[in-house]
Amino acid sequence: MPRRKQGRRKAAAGALTIVRRARAAAKSALDSLRSEIRVTAAKLAKLVSEERIFKSELFGGAPARKRRGPGRPRKAGGRAKPARARTRRRGTPQAEKYFQKLGKSFTLEDVRKLAGRRAGISIAQWSRAKRVRKVGNGYQKIAG
């Protein structure tokens, strides 16, 4: 009987050595993959910087602003955005067009038909500029 116990121990020890060797092989393969990834990432970073330099030499000016991608979290309390310069309006203002189409006296409903949601804004502009006055249940244009 003692011989059987020794045989089982050898078989168990043999299985453990196989598992240890497999783990060691997997660990070395993983390490080599990590080193290969590091080398490839370094090459990629170098290529990206060369591309930026090439574009700046080709098109001139500063390189494009970095955009926030999935790997770039927002900066807490970062720079405030600069105020956008408003584009100049072309043509006559909307309220002027509506004002010209109205008759000498008109109601709020007449303005709503022309201006839609902007009716209140238009009437407020005209009254501030003293171009209309309230008469009864409507408005009247002021000559002058």
Angle (CA) 132 138 143, round 5°: 30
Q: What are the residues whose beta carbons fall under 8 Å from the beta carbon of 110, sequence distance 6 or more?
A: 102, 103
* Side chain identity, residue 46: K
Q: Is the per-residue pLDDT at 26 higher than 90?
A: yes
Q: Give pLDDT, residue 71.
A: 73
| CATH 1.10.3470 fits domain 94-141 | no
Q: Starting at the edge strand that comes first in sequence, how are the strands of the sheet with 138-141 ordered?
A: 105-106, 138-141, 132-135
Q: What is the pLDDT of residues 33-92, one digit of tens each?
A: 999 999 999 999 999 999 888 888 888 766 556 667 777 767 666 666 777 777 777 767
Alpha helices of the chain — where are they, by DSSP H? 2-59, 94-101, 108-115, 119-128
Q: In angstroms, rounded to a whole number, what is the distance separating the alpha carbons of residues 102 and 123?
A: 12
Spatial contact of 41 and 71, defined as CB atoms under 8 Å apart: no
Q: Which residue has the higher pLDDT, 97 or 25?
A: 25
Q: Give pLDDT, residue 19.
A: 93
Asked which of 66-80, 82-96, 115-129, 130-144 is least confident by mean pLDDT, the reply is 66-80
Question: Can you say whether the dihedral through the CA atoms of 33, 38, 44, 50 is positive or negative?
Answer: negative
Q: Mean pLDDT, to the nearest integer, of 8-22?
A: 83
Stated pTM of the model: 0.36
Encoding tokens for residue 42? 């370094």
135 sits in which H/E element: strand 132-135
pLDDT band at 18 (very low <50, low <70, confident <90, very high): very high
Spatial contact of 118 and 95, defined as CB atoms under 8 Å apart: yes
